[in-house]
Structure 1
Amino acid sequence: MSDDEDEIVDSDTSLFDGSFDAIDSLGFGPLVPTETERSLMERVRQELKHELKQGYKEKIVHIREEILRKRRAGKLPGDTTSFLKAWWQSHSKWPYPTEEDKAKLVHETGLQLKQINNWIINQRKRNWHSNRSTSLKSKRKR
């Protein structure tokens, strides 16, 4: 290669080596994009952003629906809860429903048997066992 060809290769290499300190053709310092180039870069950036959003939009919607479904899953309707609490109050000394009680609760609330069983089990864990242990402690102090 001639010296001129070496200079061309060197200048081409410096433009593509990843450094942003390239000197423009007139030797005035770093290259600064023109307004048109900035506009083009912004438009390309916006298009890429839009493509990424479209690509992940379905996944994001699915995840959002799953989160909302899980959030709603643990909540029973207020009137159903009121009915179950009324049963709980009337059976607070021994909150173990018979099969007939369970069938009546299923019919009255519209819940599944498993939901009724879980609600009663959770109520006993949250309220009944703690109330019983508190009353037993107070009896021991006497």
Structure 2
Amino acid sequence: MSDDEDNQVDSESNMFDGNEGSDGMGFGPLMLTEGERSLVGRVRQELKHELKQGYREKLVDIREEIMRKRRAGKLPGDTASTLKAWWQAHSKWPYPTEDDKARLVQETGLQLKQINNWFINQRKRNWHSNPASSSSDKSKRKR
């Protein structure tokens, strides 16, 4: 809570201090004993602490979710290196056979679906079978 908010809460709580002269409802002065004022102060501090703690926990949860999403799309370095090595060795026709895929599953520990998706994405992003057509495709996309 900011200092301004603390001051606002403190000024609003003055109706419990007995200094204002009225309880705000027209029933006359609200007189609290010193013990009651102390109790009200402690309760106010506990509520502020709980509110701040709740916000802190939410912020930590949001941060963890963001970090988890950043990590989710990345393969471990050695796995990506294995797939890229196969890609470079077969750059003219980067379509692995079923045997190639089975070997890559064994080497990388990925699932077959992950291997298939990696190659689909890699071809979309990085493979140009015909340099002339790929440059014309890029110019079409820019328009």
The letter for the 1-side match of 2:82 is: F
Match of 1:76 in 2: 75
Residue 68 of structure 1: CA displacement? 1.5
How many residue pairs match? The answer is: 103
Contiguous gaps of at least 5 residues in structure 2: 1-19, 26-39, 136-143
Match of 1:24 in 2: none
Residues 50-89 of structure 1, C-alpha deviation per residue, up to 9 Å, x if partnerless?
A: 2112234443333222221111111111111111111001
The letter for the 2-side match of 1:60 is: L
The letter for the 2-side match of 1:132 is: S
Distance 1:137 1:52, change over 3 A: closer
Match of 2:126 in 1: 127
TM score, norm. by length of structure 1: 0.57
Residues 76-127 of structure 1, C-alpha deviation per residue, up to 9 Å, x if partnerless?
A: 1111111111100111111111111111101001111121111111110001
Percent identity over the alignment is 75
Distance 1:132 1:45, change over 3 A: farther
The letter for the 1-side match of 2:93 is: W
TM score, norm. by length of structure 2: 0.57
The letter for the 1-side match of 2:120 is: I
The 5-angstrom pairing of residues 131-142 of structure 1 reads 131-136=128-133
Residue 137 of structure 1: CA displacement? 6.6
Structure of greater relative contact order (alpha carbons < 8 Å, 6+ residues apart): 2
1:92 and 1:46 map into 2 onto residues whose CA distance is: 66
Q: Aligned Cα RMSD in Å? A: 3.1
Q: Which secondary structure does the structure 2 equivalent of 1:76 belong to?
A: coil
Contiguous gaps of at least 5 residues in structure 1: 1-10, 18-39
Match of 1:100 in 2: 99
2:58 and 2:117 map into 1 onto residues whose CA distance is: 32
The 5-angstrom pairing of residues 35-74 of structure 1 reads 47-74=46-73
Q: Which secondary structure does the structure 1 equivalent of 2:129 belong to?
A: helix
Residue 132 of structure 1: CA displacement? 2.7
Residue 135 of structure 1: CA displacement? 3.9
